[in-house]
Amino acid sequence: MRIAMIGTGYVGLVSGACFSEFGTNVVCVDKDATKIENLKRGQMPIFEPGLSDLVANNVRAGRLSFSGDLKPAVAGAGAVFIAVGTPSRRGDGHADLSYVFAAAEEIAHALSGYTVIVTKSTVPVGTGRQVADVIAKARPDLMLGRDFDVVSNPEFLREGSAISDFMRPDRVVIGTMSNADRARAVMRELYRPLYLSETPVLFTKIETSELIKYAANCFLATKITFINEIADLCEAVGADVQEVSNGIGLDGRIGKKFLHAGPGYGGSCFPKDCMALIRTARETGTPITIVETVSAINDARKLKMADRVESAMGGSLTCKRLAVLGLTFKPNTDDMRDSPSLAIVPALVSKGAVVRVYDPEGMDEARKVIGDVEWASDTYDALDGADGVVFITEWNEFRSLDWARVAKLMRGRVVVDLRNIYAPDRVADAGFTYHSLGRASVSPQ
Ligand SMILES: NC(=O)c1ccc[n+]([C@@H]2O[C@H](COP(=O)([O-])OP(=O)(O)OC[C@H]3O[C@@H](n4cnc5c(N)ncnc54)[C@H](O)[C@@H]3O)[C@@H](O)[C@H]2O)c1
């Protein structure tokens, strides 16, 4: 079977490359001509571990190609995946579906023969049926022979481990409308390699599938926010949040993951998906107030992080030199969308700090969205002459700094670790005052 992937971003490119690795012929389409030209030359538009090799191998095998032209890619394809962005709509927080509907309309005009149109983008409940309406309106002729089905197949991959998440997912969710045996058979065929590895494949109603994605992301955002508030309480009562996390996470009903205190969740999914679920729930008269609270707490938390840095630096940041390590919303990606650094760094600058930043992969993206800072060439360059250092993203290379070298480079001795990547005593032993989240601050003896 040949499939078309419309939208060659984080999800489209990884999914397209992985499907081709499964043995399917895939054409990845994007309206961004530069992205397609670069991909044809073997240049990846994003940083994702292992992606470059995966793409190169499948291009070489003749199973994966890139095109700016949607029509030939869609015509005759067995399935067409919509993997375009669904950002927050300005003003009301609803998912902006304009890219999805524009793609659906374009796809409709290119369809020939029975095709399954799959929404892989994260879309609110009801969107699949709206996509079907868009296609039916554009191509009434297709309705006669029921020449298409619309299916929801949300993506759960995480940036930074996207390939293994796609190849070895916890589950695959496929939502269909009624009488969709043909569509289910196509989807089963595409995911056949995962059946062999006994991955649970859930077939649901289309509305259920659409909601599963939002419920999953909002639950995870809630879990993060819960431990963040517990971290604040730990500080007030002298408890240690790492130990509390461990103590509750070992309970199989709770689980260890997503229980790390931090500066607030960010990224291209959790903030916007929480907002969209809040909108959907309100519009249907069934508000989900827990997610509304989570979203508000998280927004406020990011800003509070700058106050923490200020107090760690003795109550004023005026003319203080700060090294900021890590800008992306998490390690192993170059994605800056809704990163906590976008709230924290400008707040530090507005409090009077001179901020020198470094991120292993996010510098190019960061330059587009962060101003009024100095750009360091590496970790130690960022630390040179600093009065304090702030860790915002837990990149591995920040986890094992040469503290003797850091001490020689830095002017001051303050460390603010917003990811709890160090054991407090280790940093204090190197002569620094160490502040983290949900744990007591420690000064050198
Ligand atoms: N990024 C993630 O980790 C992740 C994980 C799971 C789900 N999702 C969801 O997947 C969807 C895509 O997210 P992303 O991060 O890959 O977005 P992205 O912004 O990285 O990529 C979207 C791509 O679609 C292209 N595009 C838009 N309209 C098009 C059209 N009509 N024809 C061809 N190309 C078009 C854009 O040029 C862009 O390259 C979103 O709904 C997102 O919520 C993302």
pLDDT in tens, 192-220: 999 888 999 999 999 999 999 999 999 99
pLDDT at residue 146, as a whole number: 85
> The pTM is what?
0.96
Q: For a pocket test of ligand 1, which of 10, 107, 217, 333 has the largest count of ligand atoms closer than 8 A to its C-beta?
A: 10
Q: How far apart are the first and last CA of the chain?
A: 67
Asked if residues 347 and 306 have their Cβ atoms less than 8 Å apart, the reply is yes
Nearest to 392 by CA among 306, 335, 331, 324: 324
Asked if residues 2 and 77 have their Cβ atoms less than 8 Å apart, the reply is yes
Nearest to 81 by CA among 112, 120, 115, 55: 120
How many other CB atoms are found less than 10 A from the CB of residue 240?
18
Asked if residues 324 and 343 have their Cβ atoms less than 8 Å apart, the reply is no
Q: Is 8 in the pocket of ligand 1 (CB under 6 A)?
A: yes
pLDDT at residue 196, as a whole number: 86
pLDDT at residue 342, as a whole number: 97
* Residues comprising the chain, all counted: 445
How many other CB atoms are found less than 10 A from the CB of residue 204?
15
Mean pLDDT of the chain, nearest integer: 97
Examine domains 2-199 and 205-445 and report if their fold is the same.
yes
Mean pLDDT of 377-404: 98
pLDDT tens for each residue of 135-194: 999 999 988 778 999 999 999 999 999 999 999 999 999 999 988 999 999 999 999 999
Ligand 1 centre distance from Cα of residue 87 (Å): 9
Asked if residues 401 and 386 have their Cβ atoms less than 8 Å apart, the reply is no
Q: Which residues pair with 250 in a beta bridge?
A: none
Backbone angles phi, psi at 88, to 5 degrees: -70, 135
Banded model confidence at residue 90, pLDDT cuts 50, 70, 90: confident
Banded model confidence at residue 358, pLDDT cuts 50, 70, 90: very high
| Domain chopping of the chain, boundaries | 2-199, 205-445
For the CA of 13, the nearest atom of ligand 1: 16
Mean pLDDT of 419-430: 97
Q: What is the C-alpha to C-alpha distance for residues 95 and 298, in angstroms, rounded to an integer?
A: 19
For residues 90 and 440, which has the higher predicted lDDT (pLDDT)? 440
Backbone angles phi, psi at 227, to 5 degrees: -70, -30
* pLDDT greater than 90 at residue 124: yes
Mean pLDDT of 395-403: 97
Beta pairing class for 25-29 and 2-6:
parallel
Nearest to 148 by CA among 173, 114, 178, 122: 114
Banded model confidence at residue 66, pLDDT cuts 50, 70, 90: very high
Q: Is 28 in the pocket of ligand 1 (CB under 6 A)?
A: no
Q: Mapping DSSP to helix (H, G, I), strand (E, B) and coil, where does residue 32 land?
A: coil
In the block, tokens 């837990």 appear at: 394
% of residues, the chain, pLDDT over 70: 100
Q: What is the C-alpha to C-alpha distance for residues 175 and 146, in angstroms, rounded to an integer?
A: 18
Q: Is 29 in the pocket of ligand 1 (CB under 6 A)?
A: yes
Mean pLDDT of 131-138: 97
For the CA of 158, the nearest atom of ligand 1: 3
Q: Is 10 in the pocket of ligand 1 (CB under 6 A)?
A: yes
For residues 62 and 90, which has the higher predicted lDDT (pLDDT)? 62
Residues in CB range of 73: below 8 A, 6 or more apart? 4, 6, 27, 29, 67, 110
Specify the CATH number of the domain 2-199. Answer: 3.40.50.720
pLDDT at residue 91, as a whole number: 81
pLDDT at residue 439, as a whole number: 98
Active site residues: 269
pLDDT tens for each residue of 220-272: 999 999 999 999 999 999 999 999 999 999 999 999 999 999 999 999 999 99
Mean pLDDT of 125-139: 97
439: tokens are: 């744990």
pLDDT at residue 350, as a whole number: 98
pLDDT tens for each residue of 298-352: 999 999 999 999 999 999 999 999 999 999 999 999 999 999 999 999 999 999 9
Burial 85-97 (b: 16+ CB within 10 A, else e): bbebbeeebbbbb
pLDDT at residue 145, as a whole number: 79
**Could you give the C-alpha distances from 65 to 8, 40, 211, 224, in angstroms and in order?**
11, 8, 32, 39
pLDDT at residue 37, as a whole number: 98
Mean pLDDT of 100-125: 97
Q: For a pocket test of ligand 1, which of 15, 30, 81, 118 has the largest count of ligand atoms closer than 8 A to its C-beta?
A: 30
Mean pLDDT of 435-442: 98
Q: What is the C-alpha to C-alpha distance for residues 38 and 95, in angstroms, rounded to an integer?
A: 29
φ/ψ bin of 356: left (φ > 0), alpha (ψ from -120 to 50), beta (otherwise): beta
Please tell me the CATH superfamily of domain 205-445, with its number. NAD(P)-binding Rossmann-like Domain (3.40.50.720)
* pLDDT greater than 90 at residue 99: yes
Q: Which residues pair with 283 in a beta bridge?
A: none
Q: Is 11 in the pocket of ligand 1 (CB under 6 A)?
A: yes
Residues in CB range of 386: below 8 A, 6 or more apart? 321, 322, 323, 356, 409, 410, 411, 412
